[in-house]
């Protein structure tokens, strides 16, 4: 292999869908890329020009603009652009310009089209983006239910006084109220009504609010589109629209909501995090993730796109905290690598995630140097906790001295777990097989990853134990086509969509990656790679991937629903919240997972 390609290959292994390619094909594709440097403000291409290829950001930032000059996307590292033009007639349909000194990799047109036409993973990934570059930022195609403020609408009774209404608006910090007669929505009152009709008009504040409300105002249903809001607001010159369902007020959409929606994008959050000056600034960025989740789910994005974009924010926050730590402590005494495991390692974070991480240190590290790395780990882990990535309950963090060690010790860890796969070793190996470099010297991990996959795959006893470990989490299937729900406690009659939903598939994907010595950490990428490598049959892979897609998307939709209702997202779903059709399909997906678990268990049993 050409040594000059190694940095490109290492980078592509962190970018989907390139991370699904076999090693030899990845090396070939890496050799097709050309490296290009741009200065801040320089155009990459202009709308209407022939495109030379697909662009991938290695370092820097790129803004993508419509021909009108409107910015529709702000992209950071590992984002691709230009595919819309390549999917059409080869002409750029947008203008791309770097906003800071940047390094881009360009894949020639012929190679791009070859990959898309021959590899399902590439076709699925890039076809999703065609014609939808600004889909998630286009509020016109969003449902009204996704645009409403998350809190419940504030309302007053028609007989309440104007003063009471004004006090409610002040206390809730809102600019409008619904007016009700019993449960029936009858009108709306705004701060403009207070100004024009009470202050300027001289009405008595003790009078009923019904005197100043707008009766029977125009309203929309939750299923209306954002375009309906824009058209009504522009045509009628109003800034508040009640959302009504069966005569009941269920929400209020304001111009502020529209502005807030357009201001939230993963690229903007990544940029804001990368420029943050303090932990408080970073926490303000991550506080916007639930709104981003609602927006991305409402835009009908695939679950692996949603979780990847959310994980990108966590990666950026982590790297910013590492930079803050080095600014405080000074340069590191030896090279180091910060890695994430768990959902961040697999690039599968949702609206609720804790932190799982570790530090690998160059073998030249001394005992005296360790104080520096313990201090660095504390700064970063404390910062992540302050940003909502709570401390790992199992203490799988770099602040634990066990997980802050030289590379040679990490080699010993994995050798020991593989040689003696007791239950604790199985658990630790399961977590650590999902490691992904985040910041520092990535080469510290490369040799370890190759050695560990090879050593583990050749140890049939270890593989058998890992298979057994993967079967501990089972889908929530009950008798008579029902679900096995939680029987007591806070989440009674709910399904745990994490531990009984996605985790069984995550565990299967890890086993397939181990058996096939596949490098991807992302679950969906592992399933695709397992199919391509023949680890599982094509039909089995298709069924399992479709089941995973349905389960993961149902989990995200439930989290978005919780956020819209003003609650924190979690992993617990009440089957009663689903339609009969949805329940039937979700159960069928769980049956597929159970079937694949049985197949894995039987195959390992036969070999044992």
- Domain residue limits, the chain: 3-131, 141-254, 265-458, 469-607
Res 66 pLDDT > 80: no
Domain 141-254 class? alpha beta
Question: What per-residue confidence (pLDDT) applies to 81?
Answer: 87
DSSP symbol at 324: H
Residue 517 tokens, joined: 């010595």
For residues 179 and 346, what is the distance between their CA atoms, to the nearest angstrom? 48
Res 558 pLDDT > 70: yes
Cβ of 103: how many Cβ atoms within 10 Å? 15
Compute the Cα dihedral for 350, 351, 354, 358 and give only its sign: positive
CATH topology of domain 3-131: Jelly Rolls (2.60.120)
The CATH number given to 265-458 is 3.30.460.10
Question: What per-residue confidence (pLDDT) applies to 134?
Answer: 38
For residues 376 and 333, what is the distance between their CA atoms, to the nearest angstrom? 12
Question: What per-residue confidence (pLDDT) applies to 480?
Answer: 60
Query: Where is 578: in which H helix or E strand?
Result: none
Helices 538-564 and 580-607, axial angle in degrees (round to 10): 140
In angstroms, the Cα distances linking 412 to 74, 133, 418, 452, 523 are 43, 46, 10, 10, 26
Pairing of strands 184-190, 214-215: antiparallel
Question: What per-residue confidence (pLDDT) applies to 479?
Answer: 67
- Let me know if the fold of 3-131 is the same as that of 141-254: no
Measured in Å, how far apart are the chain's first and last C-alpha atoms?
37
Q: Name the band, by pLDDT with cuts 50, 70 and 90, for residue 451.
A: confident
Q: What are 184-237's pLDDT values in tens digits?
A: 999 999 998 999 999 888 899 999 999 999 999 999 888 787 777 877 887 677
Res 121 pLDDT > 70: no
Average pLDDT for 327-351: 94
- Locate the DSSP E strands across 101-190: 102-108, 155-157, 176-181, 184-190
Average pLDDT for 397-407: 96
Helix (H, G, I), strand (E, B) or coil at 219: coil
For residues 386 and 581, what is the distance between their CA atoms, to the nearest angstrom? 41
Q: Name the band, by pLDDT with cuts 50, 70 and 90, for residue 382.
A: very high
What rounded mean pLDDT belongs to the chain?
87
């Amino acid at each position: 292999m050409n040594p000059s390609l190694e940095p490109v290959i290492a980078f592509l292994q962190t970018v989907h869908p390139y991370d699904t390619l076999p090693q030899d094909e990845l090396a070939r594709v890496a050799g097709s890329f050309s490296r290009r440097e741009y200065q801040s403000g320089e155009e990459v291409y202009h709308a209407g020009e022939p495109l030379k290829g697909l662009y991938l950001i290695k370092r820097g930032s790129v803004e993508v603009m419509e021909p009108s000059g409107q910015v529709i996307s702000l992209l950071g590292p590992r984002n691709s652009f230009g595919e819309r033009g390549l999917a059409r007639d080869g002409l750029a349909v947008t203008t791309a310009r770097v906003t800071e000194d940047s390094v881009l990799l360009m894949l020639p047109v012929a190679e791009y089209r070859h990959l898309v036409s021959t590899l399902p993973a590439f076709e699925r990934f890039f076809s999703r983006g065609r014609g939808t570059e600004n889909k998630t930022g286009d509020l016109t195609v969003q449902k009204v239910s996704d645009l409403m403020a998350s809190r419940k609408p504030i309302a007053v009774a028609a007989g309440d006084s104007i003063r009471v209404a004004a006090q409610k608006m002040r206390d809730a910090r809102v600019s409008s109220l619904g007016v009700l007669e019993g449960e029936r929505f009858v009108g709306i009152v705004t701060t403009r009504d207070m100004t024009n009709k009470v202050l300027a008009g001289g009405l008595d504040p003790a009078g009923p609010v019904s005197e100043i409300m707008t009766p029977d105002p125009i309203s929309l249903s939750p299923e209306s589109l954002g375009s309906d809001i824009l058209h009504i607001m522009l045509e009628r010159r109003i800034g508040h629209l009640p959302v009504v369902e069966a005569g009941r007020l269920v929400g209020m959409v304001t111009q502020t909501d529209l502005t807030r929606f357009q201001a939230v994008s993963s690229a903007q959050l990544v940029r804001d995090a990368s420029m943050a000056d303090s932990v408080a600034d970073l926490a303000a960025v991550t506080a916007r993730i639930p709104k981003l989740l609602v927006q991305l789910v409402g835009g009908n994005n695939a679950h692996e796109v949603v979780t990847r974009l959310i994980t990108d924010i966590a990666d950026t926050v982590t790297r910013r905290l590492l930079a803050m730590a080095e600014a405080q402590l000074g340069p590191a005494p030896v090279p180091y690598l910060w890695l994430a495991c768990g959902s961040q390692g697999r690039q599968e974070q949702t609206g609720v995630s804790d932190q799982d991480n570790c530090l690998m240190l160059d073998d030249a590290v001394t005992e005296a140097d360790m104080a520096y790395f313990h201090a660095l780990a504390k700064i970063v882990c404390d910062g992540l906790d302050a940003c909502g990535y709570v401390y790992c309950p199992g203490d799988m963090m770099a602040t634990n001295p066990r997980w802050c060690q030289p590379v040679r010790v990490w080699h010993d860890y994995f050798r020991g777990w593989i040689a003696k796969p007791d239950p604790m070793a199985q658990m630790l190996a399961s977590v650590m097989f999902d490691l992904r470099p985040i910041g520092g010297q990535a080469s510290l991990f490369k040799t370890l990853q190759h050695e560990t996959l090879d050593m583990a795959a050749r140890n049939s006893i270890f593989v058998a134990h890992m298979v057994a470990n993967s079967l501990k989490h089972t889908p929530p299937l009950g008798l008579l086509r029902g679900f096995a729900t939680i029987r007591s406690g806070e989440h009674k009659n709910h399904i745990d969509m994490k531990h009984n939903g996605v985790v069984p598939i995550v565990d299967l994907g890890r086993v397939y990656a181990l058996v096939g010595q596949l490098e991807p950490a992302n679950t969906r990428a592992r399933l695709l790679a397992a199919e391509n490598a023949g680890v599982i049959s094509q039909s089995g892979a298709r069924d399992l991937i479709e089941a995973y897609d349905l389960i993961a998307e149902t989990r995200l939709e439930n989290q978005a629903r919780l956020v819209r209702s003003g609650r924190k997202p979690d992993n617990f779903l009440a089957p009663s919240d689903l339609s009969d059709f949805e329940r039937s399909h979700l159960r069928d997906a769980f049956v597929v997972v159970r079937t694949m678990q049985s197949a894995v268990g039987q195959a390992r049993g036969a070999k044992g």
